[in-house]
Amino acid sequence: MLERVIRWSRKKSPWILHLNSGACNACDIEVVAALTPRFDVERLGVLLKATPRHADVIVATGPVTRQLKDRIIRIYEQTPDPKFVIAVGACAMSGCVYRGAYNICGGLDQVIPVNVYIPGCPVRPDAILDGVVKLLNTL
Amino acid sequence: MNDEQKIEKLKSMADPAAVAHPAPHRIFVGVEPGKLVALIGRMKAELDQWYVATISGVDKGESYEILYHFGDTSGSITVRTKIPKADPRLPSICGVIPGAVLYERELQDMFGIVVDGIPDPRPMLMPDDWPAGNFPLRKEWKFERPAEVIPGGKK
Amino acid sequence: MKFNIPIGPQHPALKEPISIRLTVEGEVIQDADLRLGYNHRGVEKLAEEKSWIQNIYLTERICGICSHSHSTCFVQGAEKLLEIEPPRRGLYLRYLVSELERIHSHLLWLGVAGHEAGFDTFFMYTWRDREVVMDLLEMISGNRVHYAINTLGGVRRDLDEDLRKKILEGLVVLKKRSEYYFKIGASEPTFVGRLAGVGRLTLQQAKDFCAVGPMARASGLARDIRKDDPYAFYNEVEFDVATADTCDVLGRTVVRIKELFESYKICEQILRKLPDGPVAVKAPRKAKPNEVVSRYEAPRGENIHYIISNGTEKPERLKVRAPTLANYPATIEILKHGFIADIPLIFAAIDPCICCAERSVEMIDARSGEERTLRFSDLRRMANERRRTLPLQRNVAWPF
């Protein structure tokens, strides 16, 4: 019984952590623009949290630079189970224009396991919402 | 002051054959590395050039060419100097213009040039686990991308 | 007794990671140190392997907020190397998008400044108005960010009469809203009192550390590339350089609001004087060996690109210096002798294209070695409470 309540609350109100791993900021502004009155993601219960220990879903943008690789793994381990990772943007999927650079690991799935990929450069805020909803429907 | 007046003054400070004016508002001056700091000091005092936009380094095969881009209310003056690749040492201009320290640190990271007298010689851009001796912007430095692992997919 | 506080790079809300280490004594910061490199992507090395057209898209993605400024600065230089001149209509359209981008960037910054000062309603209002500009840009170019409207020799899309009228109407709406923000500033003493006196940078310091953009202009230094080194048609357009002489965060806010009004003026002049004709010329593939220095006034300051060509269809060397990097030595100087409580405001006031609103701060007690982790939102709350207990500076004037 308690299990069902917990699963319902996790599905209806996910708390997200926004992680920027060396991106150009375009996807990050679109993630923040999702909170502003036009797209207003907070009416659906999604809260932007400041620390990994409170988050259910990690929303990550950007190609992974070498300096940040260890820190991303540490943040992933600090997030409590069950957790989901969403890779937002073409950079997090495969590196976008920066493929082949010496400081880039090339895509988020080389570092941590990813559940959902959202394409775009940059991603529209409605597409981010769509991706989060698709993830929650699989729960 | 406009371009012609600046060129007159620069010809008196440096070698007149090394002053070039390829386009409106753009002046280029060549100088030896040993006389670099003195020329920049004179430019700051007499031509009011206290603003350094950036310092570029170019790998020209046998030598490095370093360009100091200055700017003011009527255009941009660029001072260029050449140092040999076998002994890449350069004097620092931070005594004259304190704001140039980050650009000189970038030269150290990217090309391996040693800047004498820099107030803060730590590496700036490279990650903590970067192997020493690798200078990315040298022409002969190539990077081999490691093979990509596609999770759950074909190899 | 001195403590060392590292800030960053974990960054939950906005923008790029950066790490600062502060040495504090009580509440006063004695020394600050920056660690860059979290965002180093090796763009200059990549640019040597891509052709001129591919480099337009690469330079666009150096930054997301001022993407058009990097792309335009590169294209200005590349057109000089390829020895082509874009037609008048193409030039006018390119710089119309530039001014619209400046408007969107300053509205974004106003929202961030409001958020850092504790004024979240202001944040929501300005970002709602920013959506008007984003819609206009989407109608012109097809995308909200990364417009990709530049090409070698002009622009890729044209404007029809209908769209021109829509942009003029949008500008009227924005002007009315910006006047409302100006009134808030003049009549909201807590907001003005929070910003006044914070983060002082004197004129001599701004000159020594080579500050650029609104940070330098708020200290009274009237430097603007559009007036000093005018590119394209800026010597035919009437506008003023916005300055303030209070040398603090309040001055920087005032400079950016003034620049919003100047941008509206420039956009209207461009739309009314838009000439007819083609929007692009055909560009050759190879460039003769030459070099060019290209300067451009981005919303954050001066953007400078230095490009060398060697006769092939790829550049030999591309050097980019983004404006926020030039403001770092000045920021370190401001942080010394400041208070911990003012760190979010000072960092937001340089309008960093690398900074963040939420990070966690680790305090390490030097004596016992125990660690205490504070969230940046806690730090901000502490900062706001401390300011509330201080006496309000009643006679701070809105310097307009």
ipTM of the complex: 0.90
Determine the pLDDT at residue C366. 34
Rounded percentage of chain A residues whose pLDDT exceeds 90: 2
Residue B69, strand partner residues: B54, B78
Identify the band that residue C215 occupies on the pLDDT scale cut at 50, 70 and 90: confident
pLDDT in tens, C100-144: 999 999 998 888 888 877 788 888 888 888 888 999 999 998 888
Using a CB–CB cutoff of 8 Å, tell me whether A53 touches chain C: no
Q: Report the Cα–Cα distance between both ends of chain B, in Å, rounded.
A: 65
For B93-102, C49-58, C92-101, which range has the lowest pLDDT when averaged over its residues?
Answer: B93-102
For residues C393 and B38, the model is more confident at B38
Give the CATH number of domain C43-325: 1.10.645.10
Identify the band that residue C387 occupies on the pLDDT scale cut at 50, 70 and 90: low
Most confidently predicted of A135-139, C344-348, C352-356:
A135-139
Determine the pLDDT at residue B128. 74
Determine the pLDDT at residue C171. 92
Question: Which residues from chain A sit within 8 angstroms of residue C37, using beta carbons?
Answer: 67
For B66-70, C174-178, C354-358, C396-400, which range has the lowest pLDDT when averaged over its residues?
Answer: C354-358
Determine the pLDDT at residue C13. 35
Q: Please give the interface size between A and C, counted as residue pairs whose CB atoms are below 8 Å apart.
A: 122
Buried b (16+ CB within 10 A) or exposed e, C189-218: eebbbbbbebbbbeeebbbbbbbbbbbbbb
User: Out of 3.40.50.12280, 3.30.420.40, 3.40.630.30, 3.40.50.300, which CATH number does the structure's domain A2-127 have?
Assistant: 3.40.50.12280
Using a CB–CB cutoff of 8 Å, tell me whether B137 touches chain C: yes
pLDDT in tens, C231-257: 878 888 888 888 888 888 888 888 888
Domain of residue B69: give its range. 3-116
**SS3 state at C176:** helix
CB-based contact B148 A106, cutoff 8 Å: yes
Determine the pLDDT at residue B6. 81
Tell me whether residue A118 is exposed, middle or buried, using C-beta atoms within 10 angstroms of its C-beta: 0 to 12, 13 to 18, 19 or more. buried
- Per the prediction, chain A carries an average pLDDT of 83
Nearest neighbour of A36 by CB, restricted to C10, C124, C375: C124
Question: Which residues from chain A sit within 8 angstroms of residue C375, using beta carbons?
Answer: 50-51
Distance from CA of B86 to the nearest CA of A (A): 25
List, edge to edge, every strand of the sheet that includes C290-298.
Answer: C290-298, C301-309, C315-321
Residue B140 counted as domain residue: no
For residues A98 and C364, the model is more confident at A98
Question: What's the rounded mean pLDDT across residues C281-296?
Answer: 89
Question: Which residues from chain C sit within 8 angstroms of residue B74, using beta carbons?
Answer: 228-229
Question: Which token pair is C245?
Answer: 């002489």
pLDDT in tens, B101-145: 888 888 888 888 888 888 877 777 777 777 777 787 888 887 777
Residue C172 has pLDDT above 90, yes or no: yes
d(CA C339, CA C27): 6
Residue A58 has pLDDT above 50, yes or no: yes
Cut 0.90: pTM above it: no
Question: Which token pair is C320?
Answer: 């980019």
Rounded percentage of chain C residues whose pLDDT exceeds 70: 80
Using a CB–CB cutoff of 8 Å, tell me whether B123 touches chain A: no
Contact between C319 and C305 under an 8 Å Cβ cutoff? The reply is yes
Residue C317 has pLDDT above 70, yes or no: yes
Identify the band that residue C390 occupies on the pLDDT scale cut at 50, 70 and 90: low
Determine the pLDDT at residue C374. 43
Question: Which residues from chain A sit within 8 angstroms of residue C114, using beta carbons?
Answer: none
User: What are the phi and psi torsion angles at C287 (to 5°)?
Assistant: -120, 145
d(CA C174, CA A124): 23
Determine the pLDDT at residue B96. 86
Distance from CA of C285 to the nearest CA of B (A): 23
- DSSP H or E segment with residue A117: strand A116-118
Closest CA relative to residue B65, chosen from B51, B50, B79, B53: B79
Total residue count of chain C as it appears in this document: 400
**CB within 8 Å of C56: residues ≥ 6 apart:** C71, C74, C75, C148, C150, C151, C152
Q: Please give the interface size between A and B, counted as residue pairs whose CB atoms are below 8 Å apart.
A: 22
Give me the residue spans of the domains in chain C.
2-38+329-389, 43-325
Determine the pLDDT at residue C8. 52
d(CA B66, CA B58): 6
Residues 2-61 (A) with a CB less than 8 A from some CB of B: none
Question: Which residues from chain A sit within 8 angstroms of residue C124, using beta carbons?
Answer: 36-37
Q: Report the Cα–Cα distance between both ends of chain A, in Å, rounded.
A: 17
Chains that touch B (3 or more CB pairs under 8 A): A, C
Residue reference for tokens 């090395």: C45
Question: Which residues from chain B sit within 8 angstroms of residue A102, using beta carbons?
Answer: 136, 143
Determine the pLDDT at residue C230. 81
- Per the prediction, chain C carries an average pLDDT of 79
Question: Which residues from chain C sit within 8 angstroms of residue B102, using beta carbons?
Answer: 325, 328-329
Chains that touch A (3 or more CB pairs under 8 A): B, C
Determine the pLDDT at residue A103. 78
Residue B155 counted as domain residue: no
Closest CA relative to residue C100, chosen from C50, C188, C183, C166: C166
Residue A15, strand partner residues: A47
Determine the pLDDT at residue C11. 38
Question: What's the rounded mean pLDDT across residues B33-45?
Answer: 87
CB-based contact B125 C308, cutoff 8 Å: no
Identify the band that residue C364 occupies on the pLDDT scale cut at 50, 70 and 90: very low
Nearest neighbour of C37 by CB, restricted to B58, B67, B126: B126
For C63-72, C178-187, C204-213, which range has the lowest pLDDT when averaged over its residues?
Answer: C178-187
Residue of C nearest to A37 (CA): C128
Residue C7 has pLDDT above 50, yes or no: yes
Residue B142 counted as domain residue: no
CB-based contact B148 A107, cutoff 8 Å: yes
Residue B152 counted as domain residue: no
Using a CB–CB cutoff of 8 Å, tell me whether B144 touches chain A: no
Question: Which residues from chain C sit within 8 angstroms of residue A98, using beta carbons?
Answer: 41-43, 46, 61
Rounded percentage of chain B residues whose pLDDT exceeds 70: 97
Instruction: Give the DSSP letter of residue C339.
Output: B
The CATH number for B26's domain is 3.30.460.80
Residue C14 has pLDDT above 80, yes or no: no
d(CA B71, CA B49): 7
Nearest neighbour of A102 by CB, restricted to B129, B143, B151: B143
Residue A111 has pLDDT above 70, yes or no: yes
CB-based contact A37 C40, cutoff 8 Å: no
For C144-158, C241-255, C268-282, which range has the lowest pLDDT when averaged over its residues?
Answer: C241-255
Rounded to 10°, the helix C67-82/C52-60 angle is: 160
C154 to B13, C294, C299, C307: CA distances (angstroms):
41, 16, 22, 19
Residue A50 has pLDDT above 70, yes or no: yes
Question: Which token pair is C209?
Answer: 């550390």
Residues 71-100 (B) with a CB less than 8 A from some CB of C: 71-76, 78, 97-100
Identify the band that residue C40 occupies on the pLDDT scale cut at 50, 70 and 90: confident
Residue C391 has pLDDT above 60, yes or no: no
**CB within 8 Å of A134: residues ≥ 6 apart:** A116
Determine the pLDDT at residue C96. 92
* Alpha helices in C273-327, H assignment, sequence order: 323-326
Instruction: Give the DSSP letter of residue C38.
Output: T
Nearest-5° Cα angle at C169, C110 to C243: 35
Rounded percentage of chain C residues whose pLDDT exceeds 90: 18
Residue B78 counted as domain residue: yes
Q: Report the Cα–Cα distance between both ends of chain C, in Å, rounded.
A: 42
- DSSP H or E segment with residue C384: helix C376-389
Determine the pLDDT at residue C367. 35
Residue of A nearest to B148 (CA): A110
